[in-house]
Structure 1
């Protein structure tokens, strides 16, 4: 069974609903979405009545698989998204995609909130669900409007971006006795990289007094300068894969210190510390954006308030100044 594109730009369906020895069914459609719906309809033994090209009966679970096969596989987190979408689908009762009601989804989200799920997680789920329909429509697998388009994300308070003082940095590094964890922590503090980016480093990525970070979160490589001393220490490691798994050792060491962090911040505080001290010391916000690898300046602007001259005019231009 297959759906193929003809030389005329149409989509041809070829299926044998009865198996190898069954009757062959061939039909041509103008859009891939119509062809996909027909294939699903013809293969569903429970279908009765005539084929209605204007009524898409594809259920949400099948749409998720279509999304994954045609797009999700290409995403770094595609498998995780499919798992999340399938979980949503199961709770909703696997409805027909076109008949999914926005109020039905809002009720699901409200239940998630009452179960203690954080707003940010709920917003991520909504983004995944909306993207599912948007991508399928873009691929012409469906031809109806996104049924969740009218749902707005929940308002989320800004996360507290804690960072370490110089004394806390000293205390933390002194507590990390594990060699790999200690060196990874110092790389994060020196470059602003994520823990996973440092932990996965290979020796070939250290050259010309720079670390060449690859396979980053946004899939864009970036080169960050490091000191000659740090470069020499990394190149002296007698193996191509510089580090083993060390995050647990870091967390155990962190627990032994007097440092208190907001929930959800452990190794990521090292990245926040780099960015915060960079701005405190008068760094340029655009340079920081490139160093952190942020695709949007909006993400980097979270650190702008730490610049020495941030809102300094308030001191001289407020009405209490004589």
Structure 2
């Protein structure tokens, strides 16, 4: 019996069939013969009903309950994917443990054990905050216990984040990149957006010479006039699908497909260490260009969608400080000149 002969969520398994619905944490062996009334009764019950949360208070039950919560269901697909990745790790190490027995020291130790990967270590703590908050909501933690994951000091970023692409590297990339990789590059530079948003840009988002859309990560609506350079480049691109970036059949492409293509191009470049520069660094290039053009913080935020000054400091770096200091000193010089004229 092939998968095509079986209904949704049902798979062959050692002579029987198994109902698997990962979003609900369900995996149920079905010993009824597919197609029989008994089979359909069992199947319909599994489809309509939710797998009950185990009466045993442990992380396994907590995680399954969280996956059924409105808070989880409202997350963006990318955020859901990230959460599941780290929750899976927590499930592996603490699945059978009672959340009430986990104290701040245990989460702190988990954080420290992953110190060599500071981003992942911080994300583990952030996910634990979410899980333990849900544990309180469903009665797995008592009010007096508080949230043991809160207050753990996170590792600080030791650098200014992703590095902007050097001019020489950009020139080489523009010369050697195939059409789709070059299109991704131009959109990242021209709009200053994350690659996850760039791959979802539709031709319908481009109206009256501007990019009108809502950021995927922040859910923030933005309207951004296109640069002359990006307008000129897009005028050379064939419209083969709904999205600007497509596969050979005109269908949208996934973030990971584009990211892998960009990595392959950089791996073949002559520029030293080109492979170490990530596509997200182009967002930093765009931010720096805005500051170099004389934009202030609010103007930069209006294009990039950054929500706070701290992120702008990371993206703008010393360029931001220099441009602001130059404008400040120019203002002082003008004031001095005006004094002498009076």
TM over 0.5: yes
1:248 aligns with 2:260: yes
Q: Distance in 2 between matches of 1:140 and 1:295?
A: 35
Alpha-carbon distance change, 305 to 140 in structure 1, aligned in 2, over 3 angstroms = farther
Q: How far does the alpha carbon of each residue in 1:255-311 deviate from its partner, in whole angstroms, 9 at most, with x for none?
A: 314153685x41112111111122123221111112111222321122153134455
1:222 is aligned to 222
> Which residue, out of 271, 283, 291, partners 1:258?
271
Match of 1:61 in 2: 60
> How far apart, CA to CA, are the structure 1 residues paired with 2:157 and 2:206?
39
- Give the match's secondary structure for 2:239: coil
Residue of structure 2 in register with 1:305 after alignment = 318
Structure with higher helix content: 2
Extract unaligned runs of 5+ from structure 1: 1-38, 45-56, 315-322
CA contact (8 A) 1:210 1:226 kept: yes
Give yes or no for the alignment of 1:195 onto 2:195. yes
- Describe the SS at the equivalent of 2:114: helix
Separation of aligned partners in 2, 1:162 and 1:106: 30
Q: Which residue in 2 is equivalent to 1:162?
A: 163
Q: 1:291 is matched with which residue?
A: 303
TM-score (normalizing by structure 1) = 0.69
**Change over 3 Å in CA distance of 1:227–1:275 after alignment to 2:** closer
Q: CA deviation at 1:118?
A: 0.7
Q: Equivalent residue of 1:216, what SS?
A: coil
Note the aligned Cα RMSD (angstroms).
Answer: 2.9
Cα offsets for 1:28-63 (capped at 9, x unmatched): xxxxxxxxxxx96xx74xxxxxxxxxxxx6212212
In structure 2, what is the equivalent of residue 91 of structure 1?
93
Give the Cα separation in 1 of the matches to 2:98 and 2:292: 54
Q: State the alpha-carbon separation in 1 of the partners of residues 179 and 88 from structure 2.
A: 41
Contact 2:296-2:324 within 8 A present in 1 as well = no
* Pair 93,61 (structure 1): closer, same or farther in 2 beyond 3 Å: closer
Shift of 1:233: 4.8
User: Any conservation in 2 of the 1:209–1:226 contact (CA below 8 Å)?
Assistant: yes
Please tell me whether the aligned partners of residues 181 and 250 of structure 1 are also in contact (alpha carbons under 8 angstroms). yes
What does residue 101 of structure 1 align with?
103
CA contact (8 A) 1:211 1:225 kept: yes
Q: How many residues align?
A: 257
Counterpart contact for 1:197–1:213, Cα < 8 Å: no
Match of residue 272 from structure 1: 284
Provide TM-score, normalisation by structure 2: 0.65
CA contact (8 A) 1:203 1:234 kept: no
Report the counterpart of residue 125 of structure 1 in structure 2.
124
